[in-house]
Amino acid sequence: MISDSDLIAMVRAYNPNTNEALIRDAYAYGAKMHEGQTRHSGEPYFSHPVEVAALLTERWLDDATIVTALLHDTIEDTGSTYSEVERRFGSEIAELVDGVTKLTNLELNSTETKQAENFRKLFMAMSKDLRVILVKLADRLHNMRTIKHMRPDKQIQKARETMDIYAPLAGRMGMHWMREELEDLAFRVLNPDARASIIRRFITLQKETGDVVPKITEDIRTELARANIEGKVFGRAKKPYSIWRKMEEKKQSFSRLSDIYGFRVIANSEDDCYRALGVLHRRWRSVPGRFKDYISQPKTNGYRSIHTTVSGRDGKRVEIQIRTRQMHDVAEAGVAAHWAYRDGERVENPFAVDPSTWVSSMTERFDQADDHDDFLEHVKLEMYSDQVFCFTPKGEVIKLPRGATPLDYAYAIHTRIGHSCVGAKVDGLRVPLWTRLRNGQSVEIITAEGQKPQPTWIDIAVTGRAKSAIRKSLREEHRDRYIKLGRELTRVAFEHVGKKASDKALETAAKELSLTDASQLLEYVGSTELSAREVVTALYPELASKADMEPADNERPVVGLPEGVQVKRAACCQAVPGERIVGIKYKGEGVFVHAIACDALVELEDQPERWLDIRWHSGRHAATNTVTLALTIGNSFGVLGRICTLIGEQKANISDMHFIDRKPDYFQLLMDVDVRDSEHLHGVMTAIEADSDVAGLERHRDLSRKP
């Protein structure tokens, strides 16, 4: 275990003016409070707070943060109290320790409503002092480094929590090195076979080609020296999880994944960054679409760098990041740069962005959101997504999460613009509302009086702001109809477990689900934002779980059907597992499963007695769900065969094919593909759409085929 003298020496290395007596006193107090306690490994428990403090010294943090790390578990796990910590170490440190304690007590993997409330508490603690989250992240990092000593079930729980919450939060705080390590440590627990496989392939690759990192590093240094550009060059192979994620996203094997090496050029000035970029692009061919200039358009967390990918030595693709030393410090330290010391003085870094504004806005949004789900959705989108920068026709910059659509852009400008949106132009060309926007595009929204949000917009929009505004508008417009439908769906669901959906029961369920009253509960059920099953579960969890124990087979793929009733997929919308559904009773034909957004349901709005609250079984479904795809493909040799091969590679089957139109330069056809679920379908469509000879692809909907 690191001694108090060694820890003080680590702090003194960057802060000669450190308060040694304060750190020594905190070390002694923490050791005394944790005396007799041990970790799962058998080591003294106090070794953990000391290691957390040591981690924070690597970021040159101030004395108060180091002391907080030493004491962060005292109030939680020992006989120490807030008042005692305040008396011995002052109110600032007591507040920080208390903040970390509150974060430790949050159940971030609990139910969504409770999780949303806990996220709010997390942001409240962060808004008071961001050093709280720095200590908590360092605490989680050390725990993940030593996770092998925990029970297997606890390892999985902590790893999932790390992957879902703490790693993205570290990234949003600008601490990308920590995000990468947290992700990889969690990956080691959650998918050890995949990680081991990637490492084995790396070893094989190095045996075949040698270690190319030092070779490429030297190539870059040589080119910079020729241009009289001073700078440092670093190279490394990317982390196993980063490689695995790229393989999953691109649906490529390891052998086809080329940019598995990353290099950094640390230049002396911003001008040298752009000069270095020119040198690299003149020496090696740049890869189209793989250039990002975060110097002229920084990320919201202060990150600045130029990213480019080139075909380097032996044609290998390598990613290169170019930045100055100050930019690099922010990229490495993130939010920690605000409290960093060097030579006894606080470091003033002009590129460091204080994320407290973002944290405060997230806390305020919780109070403004109509419900917890809206807030939780917005938090996760904000935390887990990089951003794209688009321009208004007047040249103003609009920041949106990656994957945002023109609809999100419209709502980002103003809710009124979003509500009245009928179309969009991107770089002067008319595009569908579901188009994914990219960095640097100019977007113009087309509006019309009388236009109102459509139910399908929920699936098009990706930002919490847009989804919240759309849901609110739809609820207000269809409130009475939703309440009527919700009442019928809850009645059927309650009868399914032998209970009555009385007014008192509904009021109690609304309270359990943190809703205003029974009317809001019924409204949410009718609008499918809440399932009737969730209402039943809130009151009768044991009965609901018993009702769920039906076998997940192809004969009964859905849950919630009356005994003996046959079920079929409606041909008009071809709903697949993973999509929100509703059951409609047809006399003499049983129940047909419709996607909740199916246009055929409009005719049935006044017949709520025919609607059933059903959902897909949660198990793995067989690839027997037929979906019709409409394709427009180039009329050239081998195109159709290649598409059939792509579908086969996705483990999907083509059950039928019908040509609609044949032209000299293109074909239009309908293709029936059998898939497991919505995720499987998305993979199939992504693989097809990526082919350069596919001009158009969409799901084919045919209302004439309704039951």
Tell me the CA distances in angstroms from 336 to 59, 132, 574, one per residue in order.
Answer: 7, 11, 51
pLDDT computed for residue 114 by the predictor: 47
Residue 455 to residue 221: CA distance in whole angstroms = 56
pLDDT computed for residue 191 by the predictor: 86
Residue 363 to residue 116: CA distance in whole angstroms = 11
Write down the catalytic residue from 43, 77, 512, 548: 77
Residue 368 to residue 347: CA distance in whole angstroms = 37
Residue ranges per structural domain of the chain = 4-193, 195-339, 625-705
Tell me the CA distances in angstroms from 220 to 38, 142, 216, 234, 560, one per residue in order.
Answer: 49, 35, 6, 10, 63
Instruction: Please indicate whether residue 341 or residue 704 has the higher confidence score (pLDDT).
Output: 704
pLDDT computed for residue 342 by the predictor: 56
**Domain covering 195-339 in this structure, CATH number:** 3.30.460.10
**8 Å CB contact between 584 and 605:** no
Write down the catalytic residue from 25, 58, 76, 672: 76
pLDDT computed for residue 338 by the predictor: 53
**8 Å CB contact between 170 and 182:** yes
**Is residue 311 predicted with pLDDT exceeding 90?**
no
**8 Å CB contact between 121 and 112:** no
Instruction: Please indicate whether residue 406 or residue 376 has the higher confidence score (pLDDT).
Output: 406
Is the overall model pTM greater than 0.85, yes or no? Answer: no
**Is residue 612 predicted with pLDDT exceeding 50?**
yes
Residue 197 to residue 525: CA distance in whole angstroms = 45
- Token pair belonging to 683: 């993979």
The phi, psi pair for 316, rounded to 5°, reads -75, 135
**Is residue 548 predicted with pLDDT exceeding 70?**
no
> Where on the phi/psi map is residue 35: left (φ > 0), alpha (ψ -120 to 50), or beta?
beta
Residue positions counted in the chain: 707
Mapping DSSP to helix (H, G, I), strand (E, B) and coil, where does residue 285 land?
A: strand
Give the pLDDT band of residue 120 (cuts 50, 70, 90): low
Q: Tokens 């270095």 sit at which residue?
A: 276
Q: Which of 68-72, 108-112, 304-308, 408-412 has the lowest mean pLDDT?
A: 108-112
Over residues 97-108, mean pLDDT:
71
CATH top-level class of 4-193: mainly alpha
Over residues 107-115, mean pLDDT:
47
Give the pLDDT band of residue 461 (cuts 50, 70, 90): confident
To the nearest whole number, what is the mean pLDDT of the chain? 80
Q: Tokens 């002694």 sit at which residue?
A: 28
pLDDT computed for residue 674 by the predictor: 93
HSE, side-chain direction, 13 A CA sphere, residue 158: 22
- Number of Cβ within 10 Å of residue 191's Cβ equals 16
Over residues 580-604, mean pLDDT:
85
**8 Å CB contact between 649 and 252:** no
Do 4-193 and 195-339 agree at the fold level?
no
- Token pair belonging to 571: 């041909």
**Is residue 526 predicted with pLDDT exceeding 50?**
yes
Over residues 482-502, mean pLDDT:
83
Residue 426 to residue 437: CA distance in whole angstroms = 8
**Is residue 409 predicted with pLDDT exceeding 90?**
yes
**Is residue 322 predicted with pLDDT exceeding 90?**
yes
Instruction: Please indicate whether residue 45 or residue 114 has the higher confidence score (pLDDT).
Output: 45
Give the pLDDT band of residue 648 (cuts 50, 70, 90): confident
Which spans in 414-502 are helix H?
A: 415-419, 457-460, 464-496
Q: Which of 10-24, 100-114, 211-225, 310-324 has the lowest mean pLDDT?
A: 100-114
77 flagged as catalytic: yes
Over residues 341-368, mean pLDDT:
53
**8 Å CB contact between 277 and 322:** yes
649 flagged as catalytic: no
- Number of Cβ within 10 Å of residue 263's Cβ equals 21
Residue 426 to residue 410: CA distance in whole angstroms = 12
Over residues 156-165, mean pLDDT:
84
Over residues 533-546, mean pLDDT:
75
pLDDT tens readout for residues 421-445: 999 998 888 888 888 888 778 899 9
Q: Which of 5-14, 349-358, 499-508 has the lowest mean pLDDT?
A: 349-358
The DSSP result for 538-602, as a single string, is HH-HHHHHHHT-S---SSS-EESPPTT--EEE-TTT---TTS-EEEEEETTTEEEEEETT-GGGG
Give the pLDDT band of residue 231 (cuts 50, 70, 90): confident
pLDDT computed for residue 577 by the predictor: 87
For the domain made up of 625-705, give the CATH fold: Alpha-Beta Plaits (3.30.70)
Q: Which of 307-311, 315-319, 340-344 has the lowest mean pLDDT?
A: 340-344
Over residues 643-667, mean pLDDT:
85
- Number of Cβ within 10 Å of residue 79's Cβ equals 8
**Is residue 333 predicted with pLDDT exceeding 90?**
no
HSE, side-chain direction, 13 A CA sphere, residue 146: 15
Question: Could you give the percent of the chain with pLDDT greater than 90?
Answer: 13
Over residues 194-213, mean pLDDT:
74
**Is residue 35 predicted with pLDDT exceeding 60?**
yes
Give the pLDDT band of residue 113 (cuts 50, 70, 90): very low
